[in-house]
A and B are shown apart, each in its own frame.
Chain A
């Protein structure tokens, strides 16, 4: 067991932290207020090599490891969870399935520009009838000569409208149930693809979340990802890794909130002394700090296992469950520590709290994670 980061990982942390402080933090509040996505920030992340951290150089990646990747998401989320989401959806959800299941041609055509930050990716699985129960998807894909024709509606799609490349899941054989789903690479300008409602959300407001409407949307045959019928496998295995990204996002949010709360508690005086000198506050901070550390270790463990090619489904479920619930608790306590000021938008902690909630829900709700973990414990 070795809990020390490599020099490269330490450098990645410092580099992303500096970038986050300088290029992301100053506009975070306004972008949240205005619900503004910043393509510029994504472009800059591309320039820094962040948009393809785990992929080999031959596909435009930085050839780094998954621990470095979660560190990057953590550091971005520490100042702006929306930016953390942009990157984690792009890498874990949109790039990973290409890396794992794509043909050489598909990797060259799609993974490479995504790794270089030239194109933004998204992942479209969820439908109104299919959230946690992904198998209830109703979108269809029919083979017609040299194209697939997609019909259906996806909802709650992160990066939608801005992304150029979408991994879309649809039923090629509705009779086959869970084995009838397939995955497709769909470009933004595919004929028959339209973007619908943009969600007005509680948090992650500068990360666009949109509906996608497929009306006889034509997708080249060679854009089938993997085999027909492999769609659900691709989706679920993608989400296994995506969980680590969200866990890292939650750790970052919690860390940002904790730092704000510590600084405030030292400065704010009541009854003639800093509130940090009252045990109610200092004990709260101690518990918050302990939880962040534990969440971080669980997250790095899951990333480590993924890196080593060891099974990581249970570990990533535990990391995501623990980290997201910790983030919710910690950000709530941070607002509490800030008192009245914490409730206003003049201070960042209310944004952290609003942002934290979704981490308990997307990419597998806490309940879904508990299903994964308990299955491990209770199956013989």
Chain B
């Protein structure tokens, strides 16, 4: 057993930390394009992608460290990158044909292409298998896509979308297939950006598909494999969002501790136990979540089953993040609520992490299912 990062991982983490601190623009009101471009120039958009496909070939845990460090400074940037990699790039990596990989994977890894993932619909959130968008085979081969997707991260900004549609209306989850849709293709319309509580540097839109024609080669995996493809991405996606949660919690705790230390220095009065003990609890919770996230990451790296662990990590880290930003805001008093205060941004950013990529209620269903299945 070891609870230490390898020397290489530690160096990388320091590098990510410095990059985020020195280069990222904080608190963007609109799509954090510059942050993504800077990250792409460093190779970060393909950090865990094998070198042969233009990536940096780093291990999954190092990728998780990256998301955590980016999110520490800008949760929107961390989130865009997590989606781009976990569910925007990995579908190609795991399921793409050689031709598809050639066409897209290198671009995604280098960051010349930004990836997105379009599964959710107005009537299909947690119950993803209830999706209604259709992909009907045409006589000349290929498919005609019709329907709409909602809450798509990087909608309009992304260059490549992995889209899920129903090729067979009668087969439930097994009637869903995955497709690769390039930006700008005729038949796909991007809705206006959602006005959200937080994550303002990340764009979220509706996508409307109207008789969008796709050739056979644009299908990812076999017909009917779509749901399996989506599910195969879940564990990695969850661990990524968990890392985003870690970054947010750390931001709140570190900055609040600094704020209290500064007040102590100025006033000569030591912070009371109310504040001190609150921070101690939040910090302890963060440490617990961190270990759970890294453990899930290592299981995934080893190719071992990790659904329960990924769900546990996502739940603990994101519930912890919301708890941390909320309690920390209390400790700043009025100064914390101002539009200038970073705490406000962390507070507004954190909430969605309990909801997307599998709401924490769904995570509990996954965990409970695993618990009740085996005998612990």
Q: Which residues of A contact B (CB under 8 A)?
A: 1-6, 9, 67, 258-259, 262-263, 265-266, 276, 279, 282-283, 285-287, 289-290, 293-295, 297-298, 300-301, 304-305, 315, 318, 321-322, 367, 369-371, 373-374, 377-380
Q: Is the CB of A1 within 8 A of B376?
A: no
Q: How far is the CB of A69 from chain B (nearest CB, A)?
A: 13
Which residues in B have their C-beta under 8 angstroms from that of A315? 287
Which residues in A have their C-beta under 8 angstroms from that of B61? 1
State which of B5, B280, B283 has its C-beta within 8 Å of the C-beta of A1. Answer: B5
Chain B 343-376 interface 0/1 with A at a Cβ cutoff of 8 Å (1 = within)? 0000000000000000001011101100110011
Q: Which residues of B contact A (CB under 8 A)?
A: 1-6, 9, 61, 253, 257, 260-261, 264-265, 270-271, 273, 276-277, 279-281, 283-285, 287-289, 291-292, 294-295, 298-299, 309, 312, 315-316, 361, 363-365, 367-368, 371-372, 375-376
Q: Is the CB of B288 within 8 A of A378?
A: no
Q: State the CA gap A210–B363 with chains docked (Å).
A: 47
Q: Name 28 A/B residue pairs within 8 A (Cβ), A-sorted.
A: A1-B5, A1-B295, A1-B298, A3-B294, A3-B295, A259-B376, A262-B371, A276-B372, A283-B361, A285-B372, A289-B312, A289-B371, A290-B315, A290-B367, A294-B288, A294-B289, A294-B316, A305-B3, A318-B283, A321-B280, A321-B281, A370-B273, A370-B277, A371-B276, A373-B283, A373-B284, A378-B276, A380-B265
State which of B276, B288, B312, B368 has its C-beta within 8 Å of the C-beta of A374. Answer: B276
The B contact surface, by secondary structure, is helix
Q: How far is the CB of A373 from chain B (nearest CB, A)?
A: 4
Known contacts A259-B376, A286-B371, A298-B288; decide if A377 and B283 are in contact (CB<8 Å): yes
Q: Is the CB of A290 within 8 A of B312?
A: yes
Nearest opposing residue in chain A for B6, CB measure: A1
Q: Is the CB of B292 within 8 A of A293?
A: yes
Q: State the CA gap A370–B291 with chains docked (Å).
A: 20
Known contacts A294-B289, A298-B288, A374-B277; decide if A2 and B298 are in contact (CB<8 Å): yes
Q: State the CA gap A380–B280 with chains docked (Å).
A: 15
Q: How far is the CB of B375 from chain A (nearest CB, A)?
A: 8
Q: Is the CB of B279 within 8 A of A377?
A: yes
Q: Is the CB of B372 within 8 A of A380?
A: no
Q: Is the CB of A290 within 8 A of B316?
A: yes
Q: Is the CB of A2 within 8 A of B2?
A: yes
Q: A298-B288, A304-B2 are in contact. List 15 more A-B contacts (CB 8 A).
A: A2-B298, A262-B372, A263-B375, A279-B364, A283-B368, A286-B367, A289-B371, A290-B312, A294-B312, A298-B287, A304-B1, A304-B3, A373-B284, A374-B279, A378-B257
State which of A266, A300, A369, A373 has its C-beta within 8 Å of the C-beta of B3. Answer: A300
Q: Is the CB of B276 within 8 A of A370?
A: yes
Q: Is the CB of A297 within 8 A of B291?
A: yes
Q: What are the 3 closest A-B residue pairs judged by CB atoms, nearest first?
A: A282-B368, A374-B276, A286-B367
